[in-house]
Amino acid sequence: MSKLYTGKGDGGTTKFFGCDQKRVSKSSLVAEALGNLDELNSFLGIVKVHKKASSLKILNSSFSKILEEIQENIFIICAQVAGAKKNITTKKINRLEEIIARCEKELPPITTFTIAGGTEMSALLDFARTLARCAERRVVAVNDELGIISPEILKYLNRLSSILFALARLTNLKSGIKETSPSYN
Protein backbone atom coordinates (compact mmCIF):
# COMPACT_ATOMS: atom_id res chain seq x y z
CA MET A 1 0.00 0.00 0.00
CA SER A 2 1.34 3.42 -1.00
CA LYS A 3 1.51 6.14 1.63
CA LEU A 4 1.59 9.90 1.22
CA TYR A 5 4.60 10.05 3.53
CA THR A 6 7.73 7.98 3.98
CA GLY A 7 9.22 9.57 7.09
CA LYS A 8 12.57 9.86 5.30
CA GLY A 9 12.39 13.66 5.40
CA ASP A 10 11.75 13.87 9.12
CA GLY A 11 15.36 14.94 9.68
CA GLY A 12 15.10 17.90 7.31
CA THR A 13 16.38 16.31 4.10
CA THR A 14 14.70 15.44 0.82
CA LYS A 15 15.35 13.63 -2.44
CA PHE A 16 14.02 14.96 -5.71
CA PHE A 17 11.33 12.91 -7.43
CA GLY A 18 12.45 11.29 -10.65
CA CYS A 19 16.12 12.18 -10.19
CA ASP A 20 18.96 9.96 -9.10
CA GLN A 21 20.41 12.27 -6.48
CA LYS A 22 21.50 11.99 -2.88
CA ARG A 23 19.43 13.48 -0.08
CA VAL A 24 19.81 17.24 0.37
CA SER A 25 18.72 19.75 2.99
CA LYS A 26 15.18 21.05 2.64
CA SER A 27 16.70 24.53 3.07
CA SER A 28 19.01 24.16 0.05
CA LEU A 29 18.73 26.59 -2.86
CA VAL A 30 17.39 23.83 -5.09
CA ALA A 31 14.70 22.82 -2.59
CA GLU A 32 13.78 26.50 -2.13
CA ALA A 33 13.50 27.05 -5.90
CA LEU A 34 11.39 23.92 -6.32
CA GLY A 35 9.14 25.05 -3.49
CA ASN A 36 8.63 28.45 -5.09
CA LEU A 37 7.88 26.89 -8.46
CA ASP A 38 5.40 24.51 -6.81
CA GLU A 39 3.72 27.44 -5.03
CA LEU A 40 3.39 29.29 -8.34
CA ASN A 41 2.05 26.21 -10.11
CA SER A 42 -0.51 25.58 -7.36
CA PHE A 43 -1.68 29.18 -7.41
CA LEU A 44 -2.00 29.11 -11.20
CA GLY A 45 -4.37 26.18 -10.63
CA ILE A 46 -6.57 28.47 -8.54
CA VAL A 47 -6.51 31.16 -11.22
CA LYS A 48 -7.14 28.61 -13.99
CA VAL A 49 -10.43 27.41 -12.47
CA HIS A 50 -11.75 30.93 -11.86
CA LYS A 51 -15.03 31.40 -13.70
CA LYS A 52 -13.58 34.20 -15.86
CA ALA A 53 -10.52 32.20 -16.97
CA SER A 54 -12.41 30.06 -19.45
CA SER A 55 -14.43 32.94 -20.93
CA LEU A 56 -11.51 35.31 -21.61
CA LYS A 57 -9.60 34.55 -24.80
CA ILE A 58 -6.44 35.65 -26.57
CA LEU A 59 -5.16 34.09 -29.83
CA ASN A 60 -8.13 31.68 -29.80
CA SER A 61 -7.03 30.24 -26.46
CA SER A 62 -8.85 30.71 -23.20
CA PHE A 63 -6.88 32.11 -20.30
CA SER A 64 -7.42 28.77 -18.53
CA LYS A 65 -5.83 26.90 -21.45
CA ILE A 66 -2.86 29.30 -21.47
CA LEU A 67 -2.41 28.88 -17.73
CA GLU A 68 -2.51 25.10 -18.07
CA GLU A 69 0.23 25.29 -20.73
CA ILE A 70 2.29 27.35 -18.30
CA GLN A 71 1.67 24.81 -15.52
CA GLU A 72 2.93 22.01 -17.77
CA ASN A 73 6.04 24.05 -18.53
CA ILE A 74 6.68 24.71 -14.84
CA PHE A 75 6.95 20.93 -14.38
CA ILE A 76 9.68 20.90 -17.05
CA ILE A 77 11.48 23.72 -15.24
CA CYS A 78 11.19 21.87 -11.92
CA ALA A 79 12.64 18.75 -13.49
CA GLN A 80 15.71 20.62 -14.71
CA VAL A 81 16.17 22.45 -11.39
CA ALA A 82 16.07 19.05 -9.67
CA GLY A 83 18.73 17.69 -12.01
CA ALA A 84 16.78 15.88 -14.74
CA LYS A 85 17.69 16.27 -18.38
CA LYS A 86 14.61 18.30 -19.35
CA ASN A 87 14.47 21.72 -20.97
CA ILE A 88 12.10 24.38 -22.25
CA THR A 89 12.07 24.70 -26.02
CA THR A 90 12.39 27.92 -27.98
CA LYS A 91 8.89 27.19 -29.30
CA LYS A 92 7.49 27.48 -25.76
CA ILE A 93 9.28 30.82 -25.24
CA ASN A 94 7.96 32.04 -28.60
CA ARG A 95 4.43 31.07 -27.56
CA LEU A 96 4.67 33.29 -24.47
CA GLU A 97 6.10 36.14 -26.54
CA GLU A 98 3.32 35.76 -29.11
CA ILE A 99 0.62 36.00 -26.43
CA ILE A 100 2.34 38.98 -24.79
CA ALA A 101 2.59 40.75 -28.16
CA ARG A 102 -1.10 40.15 -28.88
CA CYS A 103 -2.05 41.51 -25.45
CA GLU A 104 0.12 44.58 -26.02
CA LYS A 105 -1.73 45.29 -29.28
CA GLU A 106 -4.98 45.52 -27.35
CA LEU A 107 -3.66 47.38 -24.29
CA PRO A 108 -2.83 51.04 -23.89
CA PRO A 109 0.88 51.70 -23.41
CA ILE A 110 2.24 51.64 -19.87
CA THR A 111 3.29 55.09 -18.70
CA THR A 112 3.43 54.51 -14.94
CA PHE A 113 3.11 51.84 -12.28
CA THR A 114 -0.44 50.63 -11.75
CA ILE A 115 -2.24 49.47 -8.65
CA ALA A 116 -3.07 45.75 -8.76
CA GLY A 117 -6.71 44.77 -8.72
CA GLY A 118 -9.64 46.06 -10.66
CA THR A 119 -11.27 42.69 -11.06
CA GLU A 120 -10.80 39.60 -8.96
CA MET A 121 -9.27 37.78 -11.94
CA SER A 122 -6.81 40.61 -12.56
CA ALA A 123 -5.78 40.64 -8.89
CA LEU A 124 -5.21 36.88 -8.98
CA LEU A 125 -3.06 37.19 -12.11
CA ASP A 126 -1.08 40.04 -10.52
CA PHE A 127 -0.44 37.90 -7.45
CA ALA A 128 0.64 35.02 -9.71
CA ARG A 129 3.07 37.47 -11.36
CA THR A 130 4.70 38.19 -8.00
CA LEU A 131 5.01 34.46 -7.32
CA ALA A 132 6.60 34.03 -10.76
CA ARG A 133 9.18 36.72 -9.97
CA CYS A 134 9.96 35.07 -6.64
CA ALA A 135 10.40 31.67 -8.31
CA GLU A 136 12.58 33.27 -10.97
CA ARG A 137 14.86 34.79 -8.32
CA ARG A 138 15.25 31.41 -6.60
CA VAL A 139 16.03 29.63 -9.88
CA VAL A 140 18.59 32.33 -10.74
CA ALA A 141 20.17 31.76 -7.31
CA VAL A 142 20.45 28.04 -8.10
CA ASN A 143 22.07 28.89 -11.41
CA ASP A 144 24.45 31.37 -9.76
CA GLU A 145 25.60 28.69 -7.33
CA LEU A 146 25.46 25.53 -9.44
CA GLY A 147 25.38 26.69 -13.09
CA ILE A 148 22.80 24.03 -14.01
CA ILE A 149 19.95 26.11 -15.42
CA SER A 150 19.65 26.49 -19.18
CA PRO A 151 19.42 29.91 -20.84
CA GLU A 152 16.02 28.84 -22.22
CA ILE A 153 14.60 28.31 -18.75
CA LEU A 154 15.95 31.63 -17.52
CA LYS A 155 14.39 33.35 -20.54
CA TYR A 156 11.07 31.53 -20.07
CA LEU A 157 10.90 32.53 -16.39
CA ASN A 158 11.61 36.15 -17.31
CA ARG A 159 8.75 36.10 -19.84
CA LEU A 160 6.44 34.34 -17.40
CA SER A 161 5.90 37.36 -15.16
CA SER A 162 5.38 39.50 -18.27
CA ILE A 163 2.62 37.29 -19.64
CA LEU A 164 0.86 37.21 -16.27
CA PHE A 165 1.03 41.01 -16.08
CA ALA A 166 -0.28 41.32 -19.64
CA LEU A 167 -3.16 38.93 -18.90
CA ALA A 168 -4.00 40.85 -15.70
CA ARG A 169 -4.13 44.13 -17.61
CA LEU A 170 -6.17 42.58 -20.42
CA THR A 171 -8.64 41.17 -17.89
CA ASN A 172 -9.31 44.66 -16.58
CA LEU A 173 -9.57 46.12 -20.08
CA LYS A 174 -12.07 43.47 -21.22
CA SER A 175 -14.07 44.08 -18.03
CA GLY A 176 -14.18 47.83 -18.63
CA ILE A 177 -12.02 48.61 -15.60
CA LYS A 178 -9.66 51.58 -15.93
CA GLU A 179 -6.17 51.08 -14.52
CA THR A 180 -5.25 53.35 -11.64
CA SER A 181 -1.81 54.66 -10.83
CA PRO A 182 -0.40 55.24 -7.36
CA SER A 183 -0.78 58.85 -6.21
CA TYR A 184 2.44 58.85 -4.15
CA ASN A 185 0.75 61.25 -1.69
Which residue has better confidence, 21 or 30? 30
Pseudo-torsion of CA 43, 96, 115, 174, nearest 10°? -100
3-state class of 53 per DSSP?
coil
**CB of 121 within 8 A of CB of 171?**
yes
Reported as a pLDDT band with limits 50, 70 and 90, residue 28 is confident
For residue 168, which of 53, 46, 41 has the smallest C-alpha distance?
53
Distance CA 85, CA 100 (A): 28
Which residue has better confidence, 12 or 70? 70
Task: Give residue-wise pLDDT tens across range 37-86.
Answer: 999 999 999 999 998 899 999 999 999 999 999 999 999 999 999 988 99
Residue 19, pLDDT score: 60
Residues 6+ apart with CB under 8 A from 47: 53, 67, 121, 124, 125, 128
User: In the predicted model, what is the mean pLDDT of the chain?
Assistant: 91
User: Helices 90-106 and 151-174 sit at what angle, rounded to 10 degrees?
Assistant: 30
Q: Per the CATH hierarchy, to which homologous superfamily does domain 25-174 belong?
A: Cobalamin adenosyltransferase-like (1.20.1200.10)
What is the percent of the chain with per-residue pLDDT over 70, rounded to a whole number?
88
Residue 93, pLDDT score: 98
Task: Give residue-wise pLDDT tens across range 106-123.
Answer: 999 998 899 999 999 999
